[in-house]
Amino acid sequence: MIGNEKLLSKAAITSGSFAQRIGLETEDANRFIDYIVDASFLKNNARVERMRGSTKKLVRLGVGEEVLRPGNYGSSGDGFSDVSTSAVTLTSKAMKAVVPIADDALMDNIEGESFADHLMRVVANQIGNQLEYAYLMGQDTGALPKNHIWEMVEGWYPRAISEGHVIDAKTVFTDRDISAEKLSRTLKTLSSKYRGKRENLRFIMSDDLYQDYVDVLGSRTTPLGDDAITGDSLMSFGKVPISPCALVPTNLPVPVSGGGNTTLSSASVAGDTTIEVASATNVQQGDTLSIGEGATREIRKVASVVATDVTLDSALVFPHQSGDKVVECTLDGTFVMLCDTSNLVLGIQQDVTIETERRATEGVTYFVVTIRCDCALENPDAVVVLSNLKVK
């Protein structure tokens, strides 16, 4: 039987003699997991849980605030603080990466034993980027067909929006730009019991929003303004590091004040290009509509309106029920999320498998990596989202 070391060598890949699936040894699997994490925003901003099986339970312990009591002699010791427990279970989902390697690349780039390591880093880098987005923004579509990995997991941002603390910048403040006032409000909204170690907290935001904040500080004629522009390290606010993330979207839907706001008056199915709404007041041609909520929410432009029938610019991908929300929106929203890095949990099972498929007519060998992953927000109460911000 061909060992993993030989399997990953260049000669083995080009020979086409090992089409069977081979599991990586634990050491190699852990190394591959490190490559995935190190290549993405996830490094130093989330907690990695290596899973030995398909599930892993994360148990969180808590005790009452008043643990110490007067130690009087002869006291019965009544009034002990109870220990509370809560658990989150990671359940891994299989995901597959397929990388075509052309014969020319194999013949012209002789790397010997380093080929395997180089290839694993390239594959891990792309896997890390995709997992980063899925962990941040993923929404499980349930029993519906899944075309993307972010439809397989429930990401940190959707969980935080539904179960954590949310500040709507559009309604709370006079503008939607990033500012120190807004970050301060976000920090104060997080319960003080979660602010003990501020170096472990993170303000997570998009790269563009981070640059807006750099510009805000850079406009000051102070050493802080100079450091914001020329500093080598990332900024912080209130001793909390700010972590820019390239994959935090800046085109999230934001409801339009006074715009169309209605519901579906009848169900629709995937493939429909016309929806029937309860009221078409303020719904006009060219408007952008958010249809539905959660994992199956879709964004479509209005092609035409006739009475309560709204024709869309493209077909729906998901089915929608009567009563689902239909709201006019703009696509310029983004957010800041504040939480402890240990609260953002990513689980990767230590069961990484590889296989190859040789296609001589194409002059390509397909290198296939199968991994199993999941993510969790361990404590939604310890997360604050500043939503509906806007990049300048």
Range of 289's domain? 265-323
Position 383 in a domain: no
Q: Residues 9, 139: one domain? A: yes
- Residue 325's region, left for phi above 0, alpha for psi from -120 to 50, else beta, is beta
For residue 1 the two structure tokens come to 């039987």
CB-based contact 278:245 (threshold 8 Å): no
Same-domain pairing of 316 and 349: no
Tokens standing for residue 301: 């432009």
107-113 contacts: CB < 8 A, separation 24 or more?
110/10, 111/10, 112/10, 113/9
189 belongs to a structural domain: no
Helix or strand holding residue 253 (H, E): strand 252-255
* Rg of the chain on CA atoms, in Å: 25
Count up the domains in the chain and report the number: 2
C-alpha distances in angstroms, 66 versus 81, 83, 85, 196, 324? 7, 12, 17, 17, 46
Q: How far is CA 298 from CA 163, 178, 289, 317, 346, in A?
A: 22, 27, 8, 8, 27
Give the separation between CA 374 and CA 349, rounded to whole angstroms: 9
Instruction: Give me the DSSP letters along 141-172.
Output: -TTS---SGGGTS--HHHHHHHHSEEEEHHHH
Same domain flag for 96 and 31: yes
Is residue 289 domain-resident?
A: yes
Per-residue pLDDT of the chain (392 residues; tens, 9 = 90+): 344 444 444 333 333 333 455 566 777 778 888 888 887 888 889 999 999 999 999 887 665 566 666 666 655 556 665 666 778 899 999 999 888 888 776 666 555 556 666 777 888 888 888 899 999 999 999 888 888 999 999 999 999 999 999 999 999 999 999 999 999 999 999 999 999 999 999 999 999 999 999 998 877 656 655 565 556 667 999 999 999 999 999 999 999 999 999 999 999 999 999 999 999 999 999 999 999 998 899 999 999 999 999 999 999 999 999 999 999 999 999 999 999 999 999 999 988 888 878 788 888 888 888 999 999 999 999 999 999 999 99
Q: Does 161 fall in a domain?
A: no
Cβ atoms < 10 Å from Cβ of 72: 8
Secondary structure tally for the chain: helices H, strands E = 10, 20
Residue 203 falls inside a structural domain: no
Residue 200 lies in a domain: no
271 lies in the same domain as 142:
no
